[in-house]
Structure 1
Amino acid sequence: MKLSTRNQLEGSVVSITRGDAMAVVKVQLAGGAIVTSSITRDAVDDLGLADGKAVTVLIKSTEVALGVN
C-alpha cells in the first residue's frame, strides 16, 4: 500500500489503555522514544493491536502541535 503521509515511524506497541469509546496506544520507536496515539477502541480491535505488535506511526503535519515555555 502506498500512502501520501511522509512522516512514517516504525515501532512496536508497548501499552494499550482502553476507555469507554477511545483507547490510548503507546508505541516505542527504534531509538527508544515513545509516541502516544488516541484512537477508537474499534480501531484497536480492527487492527489487532496488542503489546509487542509492530506498527507504523503515521503523522500528518496538520495534526501535530508544538509548544514552548
Structure 2
Amino acid sequence: MSLTRVNTRNQFKGTVISILRGDVMSEVEIETSAGVIGAVITTSSVKRLGLQVGDSALALFKAADVLVAKLDE
C-alpha cells in the first residue's frame, strides 16, 4: 500500500531512528529535516506497519491545541 494523498499539511518526511517496544505501546522516533519527532503508538501498529529502524516514514499530526511558554534567557 502506498500513501497518495492526505488531508494534513503538518507532515514531515524522515527516517525511523529508534523504536522502543512495549507490551501495548511503543515509542517511535523519526529524524526529519526539522529535527527528531517522537510518537507513542500501539505496538500492534508498529507490527502492522512493519516499522523498523532505517525505514522511511512520515510523521503526520493534527493539533487541536498549541501551547506557548516564555523561556528565561
TM-score (norm 2): 0.81
How far apart, CA to CA, are the structure 1 residues paired with 2:21 and 2:68? Answer: 27
Aligned to 1:58: 60
Q: How many residues align?
A: 67
Aligned to 1:2: 5
Q: Which has the higher contact order (CA 8 A, sep 6+)?
A: 1
Q: Deviations over 1:16-60 (max 9, x none)?
A: 0011100000100035x1100000001001111000100011010
> Which has more helix, going by share of residues?
1
Pairwise CA distance, 1:65: 4.2
Runs of 4+ that moved beyond 4 A: none
Among all aligned residue pairs of Structure 1 and Structure 2, give the percentage whose two residues are the same amino acid. Answer: 34
Letter in 2 for 1:68: A
RMSD: 1.5
Q: Structure 1: any 5+ residue segments left out of the alignment?
A: none
The range that moved more, 22-31 or 9-18, is 22-31
Q: Structure 2: any 5+ residue segments left out of the alignment?
A: none
Select the structure of larger CA radius of gyration.
2
How far apart, CA to CA, are the structure 2 residues paired with 1:56 and 1:37? Answer: 11
